[in-house]
Amino acid sequence: MAARSATTHHGAQREQWSGQLGFVLAAVGSAIGLGNIWRFPGVAYENGGGAFLIPYLVALLTAGIPVLLLDYSIGHRFRGSAPTSFRRMSRPAETLGWFQVGVSLVITLYYTAVVAWAASFMWFAATQAWGEDPEAFFFGEFLQVAESPGVGLDVVPGVLLPLVLCWVVTIAILALGVRKGVERANVVFIPTLVAMFLAIVVRALTLPGAVDGLNAFFTPDWAALADPGVWIAAYGQIFFSLSIAFGIMITYSSYLRRRANLTSTGLVVGFGNSSFELLAGIGVFSALGFMAFQQGVTVGELDTIQGIGLAFVAFPQILSLMPGGPVFGVLFFASLTLAGLTSLLSILQVISAAFQEKFGWSPRQAALLVGVPVAVVSTVLFSTTTALFVLDVTDKYINEVGVVGSAVVMTLVVGLALRRLRELQTHLNARPGVHVGGWWRLLVGLGVPLVLGYIFVTGVASLLGEPYEGYPWSFLTTIGWGGVAFAVVVALLMTFVPWRRDVDDFVAHELPARELWGRRWSSVPSGAAPHHHEEDRR
């Protein structure tokens, strides 16, 4: 192995993670997001409680981790962001990479706003500024939500300032690059997040009524297992939670060292993400049990058990009722902020890396030239009285159409059109780690496209069938389908923009002889070292 710390990239040094730990923490940080805390517990409860564990684990092992490994193998083998990696796989496939960048662009616009809300609520929690009516405070006083959906320009100063601050912090971290920025932030943020959330869960478990909440969460409803909708919900939860198939893990794995382990890392990231979800489920349902106890109702009778309402309305209600509420309120919203920030950084890195490679920019240039315009658009759209409507619709459409569509197309293109799965399987097995068998190709090439294809078709049919949440069709078309169309336009336009350097001047790794990659790694094979299997010529 060369003693150098980074590969050459377009005449400059390509960045790398400092080691396996930095990558694992960044990947876990990307996977653990707001959805782990406010989506998983509610989805599990509504889809069979304890019995949901079965489809959830099946989905993790048959779709989540296999697609995670697909992302890793693409990024690591072709050493680039999504557009670079797909281009090196097949020239026309570059468009798919840019579509993933477009999807990431749309998500960053509103995701930052939610992180900014959580950061604001850290301060509100210290004094319990929401008073007696957290719902009126959140929707009325804080967001000042307009009476009807639309795109307005009435700025809410209380939202504008934290949003701008959030963008400044994010762009600053991004400008520092992969190792000094993204990795260092995750190395600090993720352990802090886990420690804070553990403290919250321990406190929630000691509240009166917590047991009722846990009973509601873990008691299995076996009939649910016969409902296909429950299985689809499990696949959807795993898929949206793991940050897969829209460029993040491709980009992150491209910064791994040549020999780095991929498969075992994928297992740690997959189970790490699910472990945090389980922790969140225990904490959230203990707290909901406490709220139900205080109100003299059952957990099933509570109005809000997931989503924005859970975080910004139900939790403030709980915090107002519990002893030590201000302290645990600050911890809860700090956890939300960190979980969101680490995911936001990973989505922005997808965009930054793609533009760095296309135009030969440095991380700092990309952070400024891409990050600042995106920040301006985000601030204009999401610091106004209509932000909540725009956010709700954009989130729904870009996830159900953009992200799922990207995953379906990616698996079909790589597996069926380009037939690269065997090569990628070999790449995964050519370094120490858990051996990946032919089952992986079957799952990624057939099982995942079928399941996600079904989710995609039913999702689109639902969006076309009746207006989402009763919004006007004109609003849904402009904002929802407009966001998806924006990602498509980015994909088409950027594909035709010429590369600053020759991206095709790249020779993929020469794969090791079959007798080497066919074995399961339990020790370093004698004579492995002198073989130089890979060359990355740019």
Among 18, 90, 215, 365, binds another protein (CB under 8 A): 215
User: If DSSP codes are grouped into helix, strand and coil, which group holds residue 13?
Assistant: strand
Residue 530 makes contact with another protein by CB under 8 A? yes
| Out of 33, 363, 433, 449, the residue judged to bind another protein by CB under 8 A | 433
Residues contacting residue 470 through CB under 8 Å, at least 6 positions apart? none
Distance CA 281, CA 135 (A): 23
Of the candidate residues 46, 133, 271, 327, the single one contacting another protein (CB under 8 A):
271
Beta carbons within 10 angstroms of residue 517's beta carbon: 18
Report phi then psi at 415, rounded to 5: -80, -50
User: Does residue 1 belong to the site contacting another protein (CB under 8 A)?
Assistant: yes
Q: Which two tokens stand for residue 45?
A: 């409860």
Least distance to another protein, CB of residue 345, Å? 23
Considering the rule CB under 8 A, would residue 412 count as an interface residue with another protein? no
Q: Is 7 in the site for another protein (CB under 8 A)?
A: yes
How many angstroms separate the most distant Cα atoms in the chain? 71
Q: Is 523 in the site for another protein (CB under 8 A)?
A: yes
Residue pair 325/331 in contact (Cβ under 8 Å)? The answer is no
Contact residue for another protein among 3, 157, 301, 466 (CB under 8 A): 3
For another protein, which stretch binds (CB under 8 A), given 94-102, 209-217, 310-318, 477-485?
Answer: 209-217
Instruction: State how beta strands 8-9 and 12-13 pair.
Output: antiparallel
Task: Please pick, from the candidates 465, 466, 498, 524, the single residue that binds another protein as defined by CB under 8 A.
Answer: 524
Crossing angle of helices 448-465/404-412, nearest 10°? 140
Task: Tell me if 515 contacts another protein by CB under 8 A.
Answer: no
Does 218 bind another protein (CB under 8 A)? Our answer is yes
Per CB under 8 A, contacts with another protein among 38-67 are: 49-51, 53, 57
Report the candidate in 211, 239, 189, 252 with the shortest Cα–Cα distance to residue 40: 239
2 versus 226: smaller Cβ distance to another protein: 2
Minimum CB separation of residue 266 from another protein in Å reads 9
Segment near another protein (CB under 8 A); pick from 261-269, 295-303, 329-337, 395-403 = 261-269
Tell me the C-alpha distance between 64 and 71, whole Å.
11
Establish if 461 lies at the interface with another protein (CB under 8 A): no
Nearest to 517 by CA among 21, 77, 16: 77
Give residue for tokens 């891409």.
370
Task: Give the residue among 258, 177, 204, 375 at the shortest CA–CA distance from 7.
Answer: 258
Stretch that binds another protein, among 5-13, 294-302, 338-346, 472-480 (CB under 8 A): 5-13
x-or-dash pattern for another protein, window 107-146, by CB under 8 A? ----------------------------------------
DSSP letters along 188-225, please?
Answer: HHHHHHHHHHHHHHHHHHTSTTHHHHHHHHHS--GGGG
Q: Which residues bind another protein (CB under 8 A)?
A: 1-4, 6-8, 16, 20, 24, 49-51, 53, 57, 211, 214-215, 217-220, 257-261, 264-265, 267-268, 270-272, 274-275, 278, 282, 431-434, 521, 523-524, 528-532, 534-538
